[in-house]
A and B are shown apart, each in its own frame.
Chain A
């Protein structure tokens, strides 16, 4: 008898220990009330899948919140009958990453490039995404318009959506946000300074501000230089130069246009608030943003989310957000503002490809755009800027006020040990500011890395 009890106890201990190894449940909410959908038929080839399909949608929860995704999923189910199992999380990579390593993929993933864990980049580099070019010619569910008629011009021509530069779209453009230089409009008014339109005016303003103990520039972290540098490349050499530079063309960094970009960043480093690099990390970056709120620095590169991010922070009297495009390189030249946008894509391992494509098409419907806009997320569809209010109206009208839109990014390349765009191009700005690296050393590093990147371009 005793032995039997002991055995039972041992067995239960083993069981309870094994149970600890089970996968942690994420915040998975099923919009379908029926418990188990019997989706035994995989990937139906027709455009209208059977009604009992359930697709798994995984979306990153950002400043816009996760509620809008639930609403859009419900609207999609109501429209098409396809059920949606939604997963949202602030660290989406940690939630879906492990199961994807085990071969279980969501059907639709909304996760932008440029995040620290670079999950989307890894899928691009590994050629693990479904070609969604045909989605552009699909009709938006519940409407007559085609998807390509709704998406605003240029958004599906960039390397962010067509990463292999072959005319095929793999990532759908989502919520866009103009990036530029943010400043305290109240401070400029008070001092009688005007927003510079050329870099020469910028340096003049820098000298005037220095005399009053205010630095011209700061940046949250070097990661914010990507949008800045892209816009700078556009204004120095136009789209043609940008295209060549982001493909790492041979000799491109020896051209006068490239030299202009390097010189401007280097000069800007001397005008940067000297304490910036010490706070340019993920822990302290808001203190750099605080420098602008406290009138200790005038400009910083940022995106429209800054208003919400710093909403609770103390600020100087009369503070008012202002945003400007990058100044032109020469008087009369073009000024550019980088358009940052997120991406949505289908892993090639996804089970319900067709239903997933319908879901992506639905994201551009009037219903979905309105639901997203309620939370402040602006879909890149035509005529959306007309419906905006408040600060957003000001920010999103930047392109109506003469600034040109800059889009795209550095081309994807097969991973090279120790070589990443951010560590090569942008991180050294910290050292430029503190003076431990010279402009020439920075350029030499870019040239060497650029040769390797070109050799490893994903074709």
Chain B
């Protein structure tokens, strides 16, 4: 009895630091975000006034917020679809096919993930530069340009961001898919071969169903990380410009804090929080399947 008590005391003591820190640095701030979204206050002013849901009412009449939400949703959807498709394809090729220099490709694809976003935005600045930029120079080889293409101009800035974000994300997801693909037993593919199934059929009938749990997890990752990465990329590459064309919700939240609207920016935070939770829940629900065993 005594020994058990000591044991549980020891367990409590061991768990306490992590639990306390988690509560102070994760749970408390999150609760605070919700509380502060109901108040009006500046970041440095000590007094706050309770305004109820006024911040949220204003939010849905603010055309800049709506545009930044649209941009964010667009990025989440397009980046997810492209990265998902390409990463899956590359993973399948690198695990199932005999490609020369497989390891080299793995490293090459994974490198962007190690680089910091600031470095990536520097690289893409050089690629997108209107004059002597890599992309414009390449296009100039095949096609004479009278006016340079403005990759960071108003019309093309979102596709340019998408390209950079996809490039950054592919490696990470590819490695995740490769890990689960390599655990699919070879015998399944052999018997499928004997039955006359082609590679494409094998991919859709064997590979995809067997790594489905993994795919579901990554879809949630896609949503959360794209929302966060979009902020970093926008902040480092375009600062939301030109004229707000590339603003995303988190960046807008940040700028409203600087404008002295702390409560308002917290309301934006609440909307993004609920949005990402709801979207992840939806995706999780829709993709629910009976897990297959091999």
Binds B, one of A166-174, A396-404, A424-432: A424-432
CA distance A236 to B125 in the complex (A): 38
Contacts of A7 in B (CB 8 A): 10, 13
Q: Name the CB-closest residue of B to A11.
A: B13
Q: List 26 A-B contacts (CB under 8 A).
A: A10-B17, A13-B17, A18-B21, A21-B25, A100-B44, A116-B258, A122-B258, A122-B260, A125-B42, A128-B44, A274-B147, A274-B150, A275-B131, A278-B128, A278-B242, A280-B242, A281-B237, A283-B239, A415-B259, A415-B261, A417-B65, A418-B64, A430-B242, A431-B154, A434-B242, A436-B154
B59 contacts A417, C-beta separation under 8 Å: yes
Bitwise, B26-55 to A at CB < 8 A (1) or not (0) is 000000000000000011111000000001
A275 contacts B239, C-beta separation under 8 Å: no
Is B213 in the interface zone, CB < 8 Å from A? no
B10 contacts A10, C-beta separation under 8 Å: yes
Is A420 in the interface zone, CB < 8 Å from B? yes
List CB contacts (< 8 Å) of A93-131 with chain B: 97, 100-101, 103, 116-119, 121-123, 125-128
Pick the contact of B243: A14, A274, A427 (CB < 8 A).
Answer: A427
Is A303 in the interface zone, CB < 8 Å from B? no
Contacts of B177 in A (CB 8 A): none
Q: Name the CB-closest residue of B to A117.
A: B258
Contacts of A367 in B (CB 8 A): none
B interface bracket (residues with beta carbon within 8 Å of A): 35 or more
Pick the contact of A278: B58, B150, B260 (CB < 8 A).
Answer: B150
Bitwise, A405-423 to B at CB < 8 A (1) or not (0) is 0000000000101101001
Is A35 in the interface zone, CB < 8 Å from B? no
B260 contacts A125, C-beta separation under 8 Å: yes
List CB contacts (< 8 Å) of A13-69 with chain B: 13-14, 17-18, 21
Pick the contact of A423: B13, B129, B148, B244 (CB < 8 A).
Answer: B244
Contacts of A3 in B (CB 8 A): 6, 10
CB of A303, distance to nearest CB on chain B (Å): 20
Bitwise, A255-281 to B at CB < 8 A (1) or not (0) is 000000000000000000011011111
The secondary-structure label for the interface of chain A is: helix
B44 contacts A126, C-beta separation under 8 Å: yes
CB of A421, distance to nearest CB on chain B (Å): 10
Pick the contact of A427: B16, B45, B130, B241 (CB < 8 A).
Answer: B241
Contacts of B148 in A (CB 8 A): 275
Is A437 in the interface zone, CB < 8 Å from B? yes
Is B220 in the interface zone, CB < 8 Å from A? no
A415 contacts B43, C-beta separation under 8 Å: no
Is A374 in the interface zone, CB < 8 Å from B? no
A278 contacts B130, C-beta separation under 8 Å: yes
CB of B124, distance to nearest CB on chain A (Å): 10
Contacts of A434 in B (CB 8 A): 150, 153-155, 242
Contacts of B25 in A (CB 8 A): 21
